[in-house]
Structure 1
Amino acid sequence: MTRRSGRLHKRSENAPGQKSKVAKQSNRKRVQPLSKLHCEKNQLVLEGITRPCVLVDTPMKGVRIDGDGGSLVRPSPLPHLGWGSSDDVWVKMVSREQSYRHSKSFMQKHPTLQPRMRSMLLDWLIEVSDEYTLHRQTFYLAQDYFDRFMSTQSDVEKSMLQLIGITCLFVASKMEEACPPKLWQMAYITAGTYYKEEILKMELIILKALRWNLCPETAVSWLQLYFQMASMSVDSDLLEPQFPQDAYIQMTRLLDLCILSINSLDFQYRVLAASVLCHFLQQEAVEKLSGLSKDVLQPCLNWMAPFVETVGRCGRAATRDFASVKDDGHNIQTHTDYMTMLKDACKNEADSQFPTPPSSTEKTDAH
């Protein structure tokens, strides 16, 4: 429902001066290449090259669409649409979700990789998106491309992750943005680690591996749809987003944090988005507008609880103004200290798996 959101807010004034803007010193901290990023607290380093790996451009095997718990909902939870059948739109959206499969099991194909490397890569892509004022949908498309591409490969080395990630973002920006960053800008942001020719070569490999299937319903597009349905007026047709922007920013911060965890891939994007919304609206209302039952949502809600706790301790996310997209700032992907937040959330998650033992006064007599 949010496809090509960037084209609705064309940033034509940025096009001629974008190159000079990136080349000159920015007031913000310059984005560093992933290969040089360090997380000293947990000693995560992605430096060094081990051995070259061969990427396969063989297309993914066809996926048969099967029904699962709460997948297809009839009647459609979408309201009446003046421009099309709500039932047809809903079926197409859910069918697309089922055909664009993702799973955290792809890590088993890459023995030298660890889940935290994916987290660091996605965190860096959020930084790049922030630096180039890209839309949230652009980042989430890149995240989906990366996870699905890695499912088609095996034995990918960590030295290749940055190239794969920046190429996925390059493809996503061309799909979503009215004025996507130039190829040289994507190479520039890696601090010379990769050349333009390498990105172009990787682009073709990724496109072939994904069979040019580049239009998934992302987690953030589901979130925007649900929140728009919850906030819509009687005569709304869902063509133009109409919802409280500040509340949406709080929701997307929680979603951003969750998507960095590889365990988020245990859930469909629409389940993940609905679970985020449940922490801001009544669960019964979310179940009605999403068409998802409590039994479908509850496992995701339980998993998400430590992330909600972490976000709650960080206070409210600040609303930022973007001169180039004055009316669309809430849809621009922004970065914060997600890696520290993720570490805290994972600690909360681990602690919750070990119940607190009863006190001595609560213990029953053994006799």
Structure 2
Amino acid sequence: MTRRSSRLHSRSENALIQKGKITKQSSRKKAQPLSKRPNEKLVLEGVASPCILIETPEKACDEPSYVNLAPRNDRIQPSPLPLLSWGSPEDVWEKMVIKDQRYIHSKNFIQQNPRIEPRMRSILLDWLLEVSEVYTLHRQTFYLAQDYFDRFMLTQDNINKERLQLIGITCLFIASKMEEIYPPKLAEMAFVTDGACLEHQILQMELIVLKALNWNLCPETAVSWLKLYIQMSSISDNSQLLEPQFPQEIYIRVTQLLDLCVLSVNSLNFQYRVLAAAVLCHFIQFEMVEKVSGLSWDVIEPCVDWMAPFVETLAHFGSVALKDLVKVKPEDRHNIQTHSDYMAMLDEVRHREVESQFLTPPNSTEKTSAH
């Protein structure tokens, strides 16, 4: 046998071996996908009412841009960002505003889920604030979890109140993996629920939340808008970097007002950038807020008026001091999410709102003349 024929013979033997492997593998049963039909329900173990697992749509080649996906057609104001040598301020500002319009949040999920009351959402978010402080998570992490929760609930119907803690801790678990360098482990997330949520339940709920949100996990949160506004209001004329140039104590007071407002379901009536601008209006002059936010007074005024009882309540309770956190650098302490007695403050806000309704005189058209 020649060398060539021997090589051909060996190749044919290898081909037969590979063919046998392929035939053997093809005889195995293929793994079935988790869900192939839209709105198919995935039952979690130990949970009564399942959430809806929404099938992720396939991305087409001609995927629409952010502009086409925006729910509103608001005219974008000129960019208030300073001239930067490392990027176009117009492009950055346009993408931020369009993203704020694209990620829809609304309190209508209360009507879609009759078993859920607004106070239940406040209690859940207050607990997530406490968990964030325990694990020294950043403020952006909590606000991402809040956004995930509100947008997820908008995709669901008839959720039982027993599911809220599982949904909430899952949203915080996802947010921590998006934002934190060293996120808490799955066992730690399950531990803080005191046995109410098991590890495998959090993993299953994670998939449900991600598919319901269509994997859109990068919103411009209220705290990111607020931080940008504060940086722009304190930036020097010669600087080309948005570096923090404000006292940490002031930032803590401003973010405390934002934390309290976010606990109220009525905060979902406003866009995040409007909510952040209204918070800043209570600490600096409106002319500066208008300059750094690009928003007019007509847009911010309804949110400022709604926020008045929250400001009065914080003044009554007093400001919170900057906490010394272990393993946190002093220059990063203000970025760590902290917890206060927000539920007591929220009760005081409701009391002030009721009082203001009784003290407000009726309109002239509603007054009846005595005969």
Band the TM-score falls in, shorter-chain normalisation: 0.7 to 0.9
**Following the alignment from structure 1 to structure 2, what is the Cα–Cα distance between the partners of residues 357 and 255?**
29
Equivalent residue, structure 2, for 1:143: 146
1:64 correspondence with 2:60: no
**Per-residue deviation, 1:66:** 4.6
Please tell me the root mean square deviation across aligned C-alpha atoms, in Å.
Answer: 2.2
- Residue deviations 1:15-56 (CA, integer Å, cap 9, x gap): xxxxxxxxxxxxxxxxxxxxxxxxxxxxxxxxxxx9822211
- Aligned to 2:125, which of 122, 144, 153? 122
Q: TM-score, normalised by structure 2?
A: 0.80
- Aligned to 2:359, which of 332, 355, 358? 355
Equivalent residue, structure 1, for 2:42: none
Equivalent residue, structure 1, for 2:50: 54
**Following the alignment from structure 2 to structure 1, what is the Cα–Cα distance between the partners of residues 361 and 213?**
49
What is the SS of the residue equivalent to 2:53?
A: coil
Of 233-242 and 76-85, more deviation after overlay is shown by 233-242
- Residue deviations 1:146-194 (CA, integer Å, cap 9, x gap): 0000001111100000000000000000000011000000000111111
- Aligned to 2:282, which of 279, 282, 285? 279
1:95 correspondence with 2:98: yes
Of 199-208 and 51-60, more deviation after overlay is shown by 51-60
What is the SS of the residue equivalent to 2:105?
A: coil
1:154 correspondence with 2:150: no
Matches within 5 A, 1:1-367: 52-58=48-54, 64-68=69-73, 72-74=76-78, 76-326=79-329, 327-355=331-359
Alpha carbons 1:60, 1:152 under 8 Å: kept: no
**Residue type of the alignment partner of 2:341:** D
**Following the alignment from structure 1 to structure 2, what is the Cα–Cα distance between the partners of residues 348 and 136?**
28
Structure 1 unaligned regions, length at least 5: 1-49
Higher relative contact order (CA 8 A, sep 6+): 1
Structure 2 unaligned regions, length at least 5: 1-45, 58-63
Equivalent residue, structure 2, for 1:33: none
- Residue deviations 1:52-79 (CA, integer Å, cap 9, x gap): 222112169998315455x5112x0111
Alpha carbons 2:235, 2:243 under 8 Å: kept: no
How many matched pairs?
312
**Per-residue deviation, 1:134:** 0.3
Alpha carbons 1:112, 1:157 under 8 Å: kept: yes
**Residue type of the alignment partner of 1:64:** L
**Following the alignment from structure 2 to structure 1, what is the Cα–Cα distance between the partners of residues 89 and 51?**
41
**Following the alignment from structure 1 to structure 2, what is the Cα–Cα distance between the partners of residues 261 and 128?**
19
Alpha carbons 1:126, 1:139 under 8 Å: kept: yes
**Residue type of the alignment partner of 1:284:** E
Alpha carbons 2:116, 2:160 under 8 Å: kept: yes
**Following the alignment from structure 1 to structure 2, what is the Cα–Cα distance between the partners of residues 170 and 290?**
31
**Per-residue deviation, 1:239:** 4.4
What is the SS of the residue equivalent to 1:280?
A: coil
**Following the alignment from structure 1 to structure 2, what is the Cα–Cα distance between the partners of residues 102 and 303?**
18
Alpha carbons 2:83, 2:89 under 8 Å: kept: yes
**Residue type of the alignment partner of 2:279:** V
**Following the alignment from structure 1 to structure 2, what is the Cα–Cα distance between the partners of residues 207 and 108?**
23
Alpha carbons 1:187, 1:195 under 8 Å: kept: yes
**Following the alignment from structure 2 to structure 1, what is the Cα–Cα distance between the partners of residues 357 and 319?**
27
**Following the alignment from structure 1 to structure 2, what is the Cα–Cα distance between the partners of residues 72 and 164?**
34
1:53–1:289 distance in 2 versus 1, CA, 3 Å: same
**Following the alignment from structure 2 to structure 1, what is the Cα–Cα distance between the partners of residues 315 and 56?**
40
Of 90-99 and 318-327, more deviation after overlay is shown by 318-327
Alpha carbons 1:103, 1:266 under 8 Å: kept: yes
1:356–1:296 distance in 2 versus 1, CA, 3 Å: closer
**Following the alignment from structure 1 to structure 2, what is the Cα–Cα distance between the partners of residues 148 and 282?**
33
**Following the alignment from structure 2 to structure 1, what is the Cα–Cα distance between the partners of residues 71 and 129?**
33
**Per-residue deviation, 1:83:** 1.2
Alpha carbons 1:51, 1:157 under 8 Å: kept: no
